Amino acid sequence: MTVDHRLLELLVCPICKGPLELVRNEASQASELVCAADRLAFPVRDGIPVMLESEARPLDAADTTRDAGA
Ligand SMILES: [Zn+2]
């Protein structure tokens, strides 16, 4: 299952209402939605974005520079 990109464009951070960056995994599937302002990554589970602060993963410094290469 893939996430509809138009849906993702409508999503904003539930905390700061700012834009989110979609992060894809090795299979080019949506895996996380990142808020750079809050340094949080919201998970995408089975194609469903989980926009809960309690579910978000704090980003560390390494995450800001990571790329698709693994
Ligand atoms: Zn935010």
> What is the reported pLDDT for 47?
87
The domain locations on the chain are 5-59
Q: How far apart are CA 51 and CA 29, in angstroms?
A: 17
Å from CA of 15 to ligand 1 middle:
5
Å from CA of 28 to ligand 1 middle:
24
> What is the reported pLDDT for 5?
65
Domain covering 5-59 in this structure, CATH number: 2.20.25.10
Q: How far apart are CA 41 and CA 53, in angstroms?
A: 9
For the stretch 31-48, pLDDT in tens is 999 999 999 999 999 889
CB 42, CB 52: distance < 8 Å: yes
For the stretch 1-60, pLDDT in tens is 566 666 666 789 999 999 999 999 999 999 999 999 999 999 999 889 999 999 999 998
* pTM assigned to the model: 0.74
